[in-house]
Amino acid sequence: MLLSYLPLIILMGLTLFAIAYVAGKPLLVKKRRVRIANQPFPKSWRKILQQKIPYFYSMPTDLQLQLKKHILVFLDEKKFYGFKGITINDEIRVTIAAQACLLLLNRDTDYYPKLKSVYVYPAAFIAKNTGVDNAGVLKNHHRILSGESWDIGKVILSWRDSEKGAQDFSDGHNVVIHEFAHQLDQETGVANGAPFLKSKNNNQWSKVLSREFEMLTIKARKGEDALLDHYGATNPAEFFAVASEVFFEKPKEMLKMHEQLYLQLQAFYQVNPAIW
């Protein structure tokens, strides 16, 4: 009689095991991340920070330490692949990770959960897209890009622009920050300028960013100068990414000229770079 119930017993056992695994996996991931984050930061990586990430030493000491821990976890979990002659090395990995992890400071983070791979090209690359024009004709579109973020597990970056963005951290342009802001946005689904927010902040976020987006759109249409790049007027997702670049790279100017926008981004990113 017992033998007749054996397949059912096995099935129930496997089901319970699967449930236990799914329920316990987040705890295992958290324990592994704590272990990785507490490993010594390699001396060779510290040298890379000194040479490639000059803004690092203007940050408060506690954020420097936190950033190094995030870099350790990020590089343990994300794979890097080089294209068009690029050989991936620690200089590339640490330089990109140091900028990407700025967006994680002081926040509950799952380390860009959708992201699996970072593709690196020597310089700007050609992105090929297929779309339908206004006449309903299927056409191929080629665009020259310095970065691209996908919600299917990859970010594509130009090494030349990634390196330049780290070295010149005051021009308001940073391709790594831009594309990883998209990754945060894409955690909610399709990028739309509304990343995960605390519920109490949703209405004010929408109100402020919509108003600022409209103001930038008007300036772009008129060809007027603006603190934020006109590319941010493309759509709300690009506005959030462009605003994130300026928040980290020109915080004092943003605080002075776009105070409400700065305060919304400060509440989201949980840092105040204007005092660094």
Enumerate the domain spans of the chain.
24-189, 192-276
- Reported for 144-148, long-range contacts at CB under 8 A and 24+ positions apart, including other chains, are 146/175, 147/175, 147/176, 147/178, 147/179, 148/179
What's the rounded Cα separation, in Å, for the pair 136 and 133? 5
- Rounded alpha-carbon distances, angstroms, from residue 231 to 77, 97, 162, 220, 228: 31, 24, 18, 8, 8
Structure token pair of residue 250: 């020109």
Four-way CATH pick for 24-189: 3.40.718.10, 3.30.450.20, 1.10.472.150, 1.20.1300.10? 1.10.472.150
CATH superfamily of 192-276: Collagenase (Catalytic Domain) (3.40.390.10)
Domain pair 24-189 / 192-276, same fold: no
Q: Which residues of the chain have pLDDT under 50?
A: 16-18, 20-23
Contact 143, 129 (CB under 8 A): yes
In the prediction, which pLDDT does 100 show? 98
pTM: 0.87
Per-residue pLDDT of 20-79, as tens digits, reads 444 455 899 999 999 999 999 999 999 999 999 999 999 999 999 999 999 999 999 999
In the prediction, which pLDDT does 116 show? 97
- Rounded alpha-carbon distances, angstroms, from residue 260 to 209, 212, 216: 9, 9, 14
Tokens 């994680």, residue located: 104
Q: Which amino acid is at 126?
A: I
